[in-house]
Amino acid sequence: MGPFAHLILLIFSILAPLISSMPAFFPGAAYQSLAKQHKASKPKIPYRAHYFPQILDHFTFQQSSSKIFYQKYLINNRYWQKGGPIFVYTGNEGDIEWFAANTGFLLDIAPKFRALLVFIEHRYYGESMPFGKDSYKSTETLGYLNSQQALADYAVLIRNLKQNLSSETSPVVVFGGSYGGMLAAWFRLKYPHIAIGALASSAPILQFDDITPWSSFYDAVSQDFKEASLNCFEVIRGSWEELLALATQKEGLTELSRTFRTCKDLHSVDAVWAWLWSAFVYTAMVNYPFEANFMMPLPAYPVKQMCKIVDEFPPGASKISRVFAAASLYYNYSRSSKCFQLEHGPDAHGLHGWGWQACTEMVMPMTCSERSMFPTSTYDYKEFADRCLKTYGIMPRPHWITTEFGGKVRFLLHFHLSSYASLVEVLSCVQRIDQVLKRSSGNIIFSNGMQDPWSRGSVLKNISSSIIALVTQKGAHHVDFRAATKDDPDWLIEQRRQEVEIIHKWINEYDADLKQRPKDAES
C-alpha cells in the first residue's frame, strides 16, 4: 500500500544519476494526481471516521509537547462482540480511507473473530496534518514526521480507545502492508504490551543499509517481465537507449510527444523515462491474479498482459512504440485518457511526506544491475544527501532505522558528524535481525508474494516457531490484504487461511494467559 510513495524515491534515486536534467527532486506530482484521482473515485467504505487529539512530540518535553493535532481513525464495530479482539491497521503514507478500501481482508475475517476494526491514519498524511496546510511548509513543521513518533501515536491511541470502550482485556492484533507492514512489525517489536501479534504484508524491513543487496529490487521487477516473456524483457531493456537516441535527433522530442500522446509538448526525455519506469515497476508490484484497482485499474496478471502487447507488435516495430503501448495498459486500461500528462508544472514539485521520510530515516539504497531491464546505475549517497539537504534542509540518518529496529549491516562511519565527502565504509555492529527476532520476539507473520519486488527486502524464511514467513510464488504487493473474490486462486485462499489460523492461535494463547492470571498473579 502506498507503494507509489516509496517509488517516488526510487524513481529519483535511480534516474537521477543517469539524467542530470531530472526536473525535480521528488516527482511527487504523480502521487498528487493519483491521490486526486482516488479522491474523485473514493469508494464507499463501511467505516466511521473519528479524530483523536494526539500528542505532537512524544519524545521531547517542550512547549510543543503540549501541542496536539487531530489524528483520523476509522472504526467498524458491526461484527464486534465486546471482549473480542481489536484489529488495528497501522496506517502508512497516505489517506487512511484508501488503505481501508484496499484492505478488504479485514472486513472478510472480522465476523469469524467478532473483531473490532480500526484503521489509524499516519501523521502527516490524509487529514492528519499537525500544522494544517502548513504541515509540509518547512523543516521545522516536518520534523515530527517519522516512524517512531507514528508508532507512539498508535500506542497512545490504542490504549485510549480500549479504555473508552471499556475493553482493556481485548487482545490487539496489528496489520499493515508495505510501509504500514513495517510499522506493524516494528510495533509488535517495540510495543509487545499493546499488540499481541502483527501481520506484516509485503513489509521490506530489511531494505536498509546493506542487509538486502541493493540491486535486488530492480532485479525482481525485471524477473517478473522476463518470466512473462524473454522478448518483452529485451524490448524494454533496449528501449531506454532508443529513447535517448531519438530525443537527441532534430524534431526527436516532437516525435516523442506524438508517440507518447502527451497533452503538452515534451521538453526533455526525462519525463518519458520516469513515466515508463513507473508503469513497469508498479505493474510488477500489483501483478495480481485478478482484475484490481489499487494503483490504477488493471486486468488480471497485468505483467503478462503488458508483455502480450509488446510481443504482438508486427516484426520491425520500434521498441519505443511497443513500450508506449505496454505502459498505456497501466495508465489507460479504462481507455478514458485521450492524452498523457508526462511533465508536471513547477507548482506540483512541492515537498511530500514520503520524500521527507526518505530523506531522514527511510534511506533504502537501490541500484540497477546488468541483470535488470533498466539502465545500470550505482548508488551515490553523497549526491542523495546533497539533494536532501538542498530540498529539506536536513541531512539523512541512513543508519538510524537499523540502530532503532535492528539489522545486520555495513555502515558509514560517523554519518551524523562527518562531512559526507569523507565517508568511510566499515562493518557495523548490530546483530542480524533474524537472530534477534528469534531470541527476543514472537507473533509476527511476514507475508510476501515473490512477484512483488519489495519481497526481496522482507523476511522470507521462518525465524522461529512464532515468527512465520508466508511466501507465495505468484503473489504480489500485499495481495492477501485485498478482499476475497470469486477469482482467487487456491494459493491465495490457502495463504489467507494460514494467516487466520495463526492469528487464532495468538488469541487463544492470550486468552489462556489471561485465565492463568489468578494462579501466578501478584508478584
Instruction: Please identify every residue annotated as catalytic.
Output: 178, 452, 477
d(CA 154, CA 174): 10
Instruction: Please report the beta strands in 30-109, taking only residues with DSSP state E, as ranges in sequence order.
Output: 48-55, 68-76, 86-90
As measured in angstroms, the least distance from the Cβ of 366 to its own copies is 19
Q: Is residue 367 helix, strand or coil? A: coil
Q: Which is nearer to its own copies, 377 or 455 (CB)?
A: 455
* Binding region for its own copies (CB under 8 A) out of 221-229, 279-287, 299-307, 400-408: 400-408
414 is a site residue for its own copies (CB under 8 A):
yes
Per CB under 8 A, contacts with its own copies among 347-386 are 356, 360-361
Q: Which is nearer to its own copies, 151 or 298 (CB)?
A: 151
* Binding region for its own copies (CB under 8 A) out of 34-42, 70-78, 266-274, 459-467: 459-467
Query: Which residue in the set 16, 49, 244, 394 belongs to the binding site for its own copies (CB under 8 A)?
Result: 394
**293 in Cβ contact with 369 (< 8 Å):** no
Per CB under 8 A, contacts with its own copies among 267-306 are none
Q: Which three cell numbers stand for residue 413?
A: 562511519
Concatenated DSSP letters of 220-285: HHHHHHHHH-HHHHHHHHHHHHHHHHHHHSTTHHHHHHHHTTBSS--S-SHHHHHHHHHHHHHHHH
Query: Which residue in the set 460, 483, 484, 500 belongs to the binding site for its own copies (CB under 8 A)?
Result: 460
442 is a site residue for its own copies (CB under 8 A):
yes
Interhelix angle 302-312/319-332, rounded to 10 degrees, is: 150
Give the x/- contact pattern for its own copies in 461-480, rule: CB under 8 A.
x-------x-----------
Per CB under 8 A, contacts with its own copies among 497-516 are 509, 513-514
Q: Is residue 356 helix, strand or coil? A: helix
Give the x/- contact pattern for its own copies in 59-78, rule: CB under 8 A.
xxxxx-xx-x----------
Question: Residue 250's CB: how many other CB atoms inside 10 A?
Answer: 7
As measured in angstroms, the least distance from the Cβ of 426 to its own copies is 6
Query: Which residue in the set 44, 193, 250, 515 belongs to the binding site for its own copies (CB under 8 A)?
Result: 193
Query: Which residue in the set 417, 465, 501, 519 belongs to the binding site for its own copies (CB under 8 A)?
Result: 417
**158 in Cβ contact with 194 (< 8 Å):** yes
Give the x/- contact pattern for its own copies in 154-173, rule: CB under 8 A.
-xx-xxxxxx--xxxxx---
Query: Which residue in the set 126, 176, 355, 407 belongs to the binding site for its own copies (CB under 8 A)?
Result: 407
Q: Is residue 447 helix, strand or coil? A: strand
Instruction: Please report the beta strands in 313-409, taking only residues with DSSP state E, as ranges in sequence order.
Output: none
Q: Which is nearer to its own copies, 308 or 432 (CB)?
A: 432
* Binding region for its own copies (CB under 8 A) out of 49-57, 234-242, 342-350, 476-484: 49-57
| Contact residues for 326 (Cβ-Cβ < 8 A; gap 6+) | 232, 236, 279, 280, 306, 307, 309, 310
Size of the site for its own copies (CB under 8 A): 88
Q: Which is nearer to its own copies, 140 or 251 (CB)?
A: 140
Beta bridge partners of 87: 117, 173
Taking alpha carbons only, the member of 271, 375, 358 closest to residue 2 is 358
55 is a site residue for its own copies (CB under 8 A):
yes
As measured in angstroms, the least distance from the Cβ of 427 to its own copies is 5
| Contact residues for 205 (Cβ-Cβ < 8 A; gap 6+) | 182, 185, 186, 405, 407, 433, 457, 458, 459
d(CA 135, CA 142): 6
As measured in angstroms, the least distance from the Cβ of 511 to its own copies is 12
Q: Which is nearer to its own copies, 149 or 207 (CB)?
A: 149
Query: Which residue in the set 251, 413, 487, 505 belongs to the binding site for its own copies (CB under 8 A)?
Result: 413
d(CA 74, CA 106): 13
40 is a site residue for its own copies (CB under 8 A):
no
Per CB under 8 A, contacts with its own copies among 106-165 are 139-140, 142-146, 148-149, 152, 155-156, 158-163
207 is a site residue for its own copies (CB under 8 A):
no
Taking alpha carbons only, the member of 208, 127, 195, 209 closest to residue 161 is 195
